[in-house]
Amino acid sequence: MAQRSSNWIWAVLICLGLGLAACGERRTAVKEEGPPEPVPMGQLGPDVTPTAYRLDLRIIPTEPQFGGQVEIDVDVARHKQTVYLHARDLTLETVSARLPDGEVIAGAYEKATETGVAKLTFASAIPKGAATLVFKYSGKLGDKPDTLWVAEEAGERYAATQFQPLGARKAFPSFDEPRFKTPYTITLTTRESDVAASNAAIAKVDKIEGGLKRTTFAPTQPLPTYLVAMFAGPYDVVEAPAIPASAVRPEPIPLRGLTVKGKGTRMAYALKHTAPMIAYLEEYFATAYPYGKLDIIAPPNFSAGGMENAGAITYAERVILLDETASAAVKARFFMIHAHELGHQWFGDLVTPKWWDDLWLNESFASWIEIKTAAAVAPGNAYERGNLRDAIKVMDLDSLDTARAIRQPIAADDDIYNAFDGLTYSKGAAVLAMFEAFVGEEAFREGVRVHMKRYAHGVATAQDFLKSLADGSKRPEIVDAFETFLTQPGVPFVRAKITCDKTIGKGEFRQGPFAPLGVEAKPKTWSVPLCLRNLNRNEPQQCAMVSAQAADVVLLDVCPQPALLLNSGGNGYYRFDVGPEGWLNMIAKASVLSASEQISLLDSARAAFLSGGLDAKTYWRALETFAKAEAFDAVGAVADAIGELRDKFVSVGDQAAFERRVRSLYAPAVSSASLTTPSAESVLGAQRREALISAAAYHARDPALLKALSDQGAKALAEGPQAVDANLLPASLWAFVHLGGAPSVEAVIAKVKASSDATFRSTALRALAGLRGEAAFKPVGDLLLSGDLRTRERADLVRALFEDGEVRAMGWAFVKANFEALAAKTTLSGRALYIRVTDGFCDEATRADVEAFFTPKVAQMPGAPRSLANTLERIGRCVRLAEAKTAEVKTLWAAAPVAAPVRQRRRR
Ligand SMILES: [Zn+2]
């Protein structure tokens, strides 16, 4: 970093170059107006507002450095001698301010904070009004996807950018906050043979000396820094048919795909499915796609699923490079993530949150509309249950005392990184879906359309959004109700006690926060759009906004055996409990439940069990009832619940009995015979078969099934992944690793190293969690420390290892022994992962160990303080739960029936 003194020398040189008339003292020197500005710790001050950027950068991926010139037009509200903006790890060679009359005021730069606030001090104050800040600078090209970075594949080097949330300040001096939206004119000097791409279309290309070219892009629409994107490298470019004009857009949109060399053909599937999604979204928003052209880009070593850079969306290869042979799960992931990033082009890009505390608006909304879009363009794959499935996964996190609210005040960088968690994405999406169901789809859409019109190309807050929704839907009452979910963490838990008098029931409803046994939750209430359905009669649901902590209701025709579903349709972000008898009555009516209701009921049964309202036997009855449900995701929900029982309550000595019990659930529907793909199997059928087989393999450990799967895994390694059913590849490789020990682990790792297929690599890496024993762990540890994994692959592998209760302890010992090396290979914001993965432990000793290990480190890990607090709380809760429930749960398999099929028992 250049020191202040040397900057002054540069300033003098500029003055000499420009001639003295334009330099030094103004004829009437302007002094700073008002008190000196303190160093901004959160947002920048109000005095200087950028209005346009001109970036002129040289990016050659084979060079260590990049650099060039940035001009920022600004409006200055008062005479300012000191200006704060963002620049991090950059070498600023010259800084100056150019005034409208041509006068140049020299400036100096110094670092103001560790997180990238920079202080510019000028020789005299910049007068109130317009000015242009000019920087000549250079920086180091990054090696991780958290700024302008370079990655290598097959001997070629590619540059790409990932600026959200705080990466732009490491690529160019900037006012790096979402509220500052301005046009950008970007010029890139690259090798002539490289492809240069950015947010806007190419305006002109000039060849220059030394085998280089200058590509100038058209000015962009107003963008915040975090949506700016630049690419340079030998990318394959696939031109797709333009997205046709629409009712809201007269011009077609040019569409291209960019991949690393040789992978362009694998973009065809994604490109083909893009136009229908854009058409759906334009219709939904009643607003044209805003950015003139669309590039879909898969740079190497990209670590998120996707990033919504305006007009130049980036994706992980495992998400976007696929074809018709991909598994149903891989296709579903593509549809949802692609729809998510496209949805952001309106929500996030066209209308941007003012500050990071409203990041939830972006992510919740995109997570919600991805489901609608995918369901509309690829019907018949149960995408519409996606919000529910995701919401259930974050409810435990949300119920912690240390959880953050969806809309959490953000005072420091830590909070910005925390803002990208499951609560922002999944809880936010679920709450949107709940209120959409409550006011009706069309009324809700009207509110969204109002919002797009009001704030197009601008910024908006949560309050602005809720006002738009209320105005458009003409349902002002939802604002206060919505706020109860936005500003406080927690999951509403609605308990009903129904007493019968002939056919009439008296219902006592109580709401409070969900908490597991052993936790005294602070009282809280929400305005819950509660929807009830009497399962004994074929009547429509009845919904009402419930804001009181307690309510008594007379229920006609529910008795004598009340089977009252408290979350009809499964649309509500809440859990419920109806008491042991109520549960039995509902389970008896399982056949009238929709798939969403089954999934929601299973979650609430689990909540009732964890909080002590439901005994283990009745809980198990619910699991048994839905273990072989028609809906693949209900089957998956049961499998997750069984996995949890295994993880929390089954000791090593009990495993065989537990597995016998689980096997009886899935036999005889699942056997080695199910591995043959039936002809004309539907997508849903394939996913159901996969869910059943995986459950029987992972939790029942059916030996015949494991052997058959392992043989398939061996075949996939020998002949290539296409040699086996793509849907069963994950379970097949897992079984191969599980049964084969260290030699199998090494065989899988060798195939991973030889493959550049991101989907195969990610599947194979996750399968390594099937390993057992230190000898099999050793090569996995070596792989984690090697340079053979992409940033995201390393994170996914670590996550998979810690998800398995039989590998977790080895994983923890490894992380402790190698933390510095692992951290060096992880983005700064990604390091908190190593804390979060330990949340599956369930003993006091490890809890203390995790605390002692990470406490001294969290200050250097963005987002980590809250991750550590969440993790310690989770482990502590698990310890108390296990103490309270283990003996009771054990009775489930102690009395296990000996009814497993003969073929499978023979092998024991
Ligand atoms: Zn997103």
**Cα–Cα distance for residue pair 859/564, rounded to 1 Å:** 49
Share of the chain above pLDDT 90, in %: 87
Note whether 21 and 109 are same-domain residues: yes
Where is 76: in which H helix or E strand? strand 65-76
Nearest to 578 by CA among 548, 556, 549, 609: 609
- CA 784 to centroid of ligand 1, rounded, Å: 28
Rounded to whole angstroms, the maximal C-alpha distance in the chain is: 100
- CA 48 to centroid of ligand 1, rounded, Å: 29
Higher pLDDT, 24 or 443: 443
Per-residue pLDDT band for 899 (boundaries 50, 70, 90) equals: very low
Task: Encode 780-824 in three state secondary structure.
Answer: HHHHHHCCCCCHHHHHHHHHHHHHCCCCHHHHHHHHHHHHHHHHH
- CA 448 to centroid of ligand 1, rounded, Å: 17
Q: Is residue 709 one of the residues assigned to a domain? A: no
Q: Is residue 139 one of the residues assigned to a domain? A: yes
User: Angle formed by the axes of helices 595-610 and 386-398, to 10°?
Assistant: 10
Tokens read off for 696 = 């029987």
- CA 785 to centroid of ligand 1, rounded, Å: 30
Please determine, for residue 902, whether its predicted confidence score (pLDDT) is greater than 60.
Answer: no
Q: Which residues are in the CB-under-5-Å shell of ion ligand 1? A: 363, 366
Note whether 127 and 227 are same-domain residues: yes
- CA 794 to centroid of ligand 1, rounded, Å: 22
Q: Is residue 201 one of the residues assigned to a domain? A: yes
Q: How many domains does the chain have?
A: 3
- CA 316 to centroid of ligand 1, rounded, Å: 13
Q: Is residue 701 one of the residues assigned to a domain? A: no
Least confident window among 12-21, 509-518, 565-574 = 12-21
Domain harbouring 178, CATH code? 2.60.40.1730
Tally of CA atoms within 13 A in the half-sphere of 236 that contains its CB: 17
Residues 6+ apart with CB under 8 A from 720: none
Note whether 549 and 441 are same-domain residues: no
Please determine, for residue 147, whether its predicted confidence score (pLDDT) is greater than 60.
Answer: yes
Note whether 76 and 114 are same-domain residues: yes
- CA 367 to centroid of ligand 1, rounded, Å: 7
Average pLDDT of every residue of the chain: 93
Higher pLDDT, 66 or 25: 66
Please determine, for residue 11, whether its predicted confidence score (pLDDT) is greater than 60.
Answer: no
Tokens read off for 124 = 């005299």
Residues 6+ apart with CB under 8 A from 257: 236, 237, 238, 240, 264, 267, 268, 270, 271, 295, 296, 297, 298
- CA 307 to centroid of ligand 1, rounded, Å: 7
Please determine, for residue 15, whether its predicted confidence score (pLDDT) is greater than 60.
Answer: no
Average pLDDT, integer, range 819-839: 94
- In the prediction, which pLDDT does 673 show? 63
- CA 311 to centroid of ligand 1, rounded, Å: 15
Handedness of CA 356, 358, 360, 365 (dihedral sign): negative
Note whether 477 and 531 are same-domain residues: no
Please determine, for residue 826, whether its predicted confidence score (pLDDT) is greater than 80.
Answer: yes
- CA 361 to centroid of ligand 1, rounded, Å: 10
E-assigned strand segments in 99-211: 104-111, 117-126, 129-140, 148-153, 156-161, 184-191, 195-198, 202-208
- CA 178 to centroid of ligand 1, rounded, Å: 14
Torsion angle of C-alpha atoms 590, 530, 603, 386, degrees rounded to 10: 90
- CA 281 to centroid of ligand 1, rounded, Å: 15
Q: Is residue 332 one of the residues assigned to a domain? A: no
- CA 338 to centroid of ligand 1, rounded, Å: 10
- CA 344 to centroid of ligand 1, rounded, Å: 7
Contact between 798 and 784 (Cβ < 8 Å): yes
Per-residue pLDDT band for 539 (boundaries 50, 70, 90) equals: confident
| Range(s) of the domain holding residue 563 | 491-626
- In the prediction, which pLDDT does 416 show? 82
Where is 893: in which H helix or E strand? helix 864-894
Per-residue pLDDT band for 212 (boundaries 50, 70, 90) equals: very high
- CA 349 to centroid of ligand 1, rounded, Å: 11
Q: In which residue are the tokens 């000791």 written?
A: 651
Note whether 100 and 230 are same-domain residues: yes
Per-residue pLDDT band for 895 (boundaries 50, 70, 90) equals: low
Domain harbouring 548, CATH code? 2.60.40.1910
Note whether 59 and 143 are same-domain residues: yes
**Cα–Cα distance for residue pair 450/215, rounded to 1 Å:** 38
Bond prior to 244 in cis (omega within 30° of 0): no
pLDDT digits (tens, 9 = 90+) for 455-509: 999 999 999 999 999 999 999 999 999 999 999 999 999 999 999 998 899 999 9
- In the prediction, which pLDDT does 415 show? 77
**Cα–Cα distance for residue pair 737/806, rounded to 1 Å:** 14
Handedness of CA 701, 705, 710, 713 (dihedral sign): negative
Note whether 478 and 499 are same-domain residues: no
**Cα–Cα distance for residue pair 497/609, rounded to 1 Å:** 16
- In the prediction, which pLDDT does 28 show? 62
Cα 655 to the center of its chain, rounded Å: 34
Q: Is residue 681 one of the residues assigned to a domain? A: no
Domain harbouring 359, CATH code? 1.10.390.10
Contact between 492 and 528 (Cβ < 8 Å): yes
- CA 418 to centroid of ligand 1, rounded, Å: 14
Q: Is residue 177 one of the residues assigned to a domain? A: yes
* Residues marked as catalytic: 341
Cα 124 to the center of its chain, rounded Å: 46
- In the prediction, which pLDDT does 677 show? 81
- CA 888 to centroid of ligand 1, rounded, Å: 42
- CA 371 to centroid of ligand 1, rounded, Å: 13
Average pLDDT, integer, range 809-832: 95
- CA 573 to centroid of ligand 1, rounded, Å: 21
Note whether 529 and 481 are same-domain residues: no
Q: In which residue are the tokens 């070629």 written?
A: 156
- CA 330 to centroid of ligand 1, rounded, Å: 18
- CA 164 to centroid of ligand 1, rounded, Å: 10
Count CB-CB contacts under 10 A for residue 100.
10
Note whether 387 and 523 are same-domain residues: no
Per-residue pLDDT band for 906 (boundaries 50, 70, 90) equals: very low
- CA 256 to centroid of ligand 1, rounded, Å: 21
**Cα–Cα distance for residue pair 48/75, rounded to 1 Å:** 6
- In the prediction, which pLDDT does 30 show? 85
- CA 308 to centroid of ligand 1, rounded, Å: 7
Residue ending a domain, choose from 592, 626, 660: 626
- CA 342 to centroid of ligand 1, rounded, Å: 9
Least confident window among 100-104, 379-383, 876-880 = 379-383
Residues 6+ apart with CB under 8 A from 66: 57, 58, 59, 60, 138, 139, 140, 141, 148, 159, 171
- CA 305 to centroid of ligand 1, rounded, Å: 9
Residue ending a domain, choose from 569, 596, 626: 626
**Cα–Cα distance for residue pair 879/869, rounded to 1 Å:** 16
Does residue 73 come out as left (phi exceeding 0), alpha (psi in the -120 to 50 range) or beta? beta
User: Angle formed by the axes of helices 683-695 and 655-666, to 10°?
Assistant: 150
Note whether 525 and 478 are same-domain residues: no
Beta-sheet pairing, 90-98 with 129-140: antiparallel
pLDDT digits (tens, 9 = 90+) for 261-313: 999 999 999 999 999 999 999 999 999 999 999 999 999 999 899 999 999 99
Per-residue pLDDT band for 678 (boundaries 50, 70, 90) equals: confident
Residue ending a domain, choose from 626, 642, 667: 626
**Cα–Cα distance for residue pair 570/588, rounded to 1 Å:** 18
Q: Is residue 815 one of the residues assigned to a domain? A: no
Whole-angstrom CA distances from 335 to 156, 290, 377, 652, 798 are: 30, 21, 9, 41, 26
Note whether 441 and 417 are same-domain residues: yes
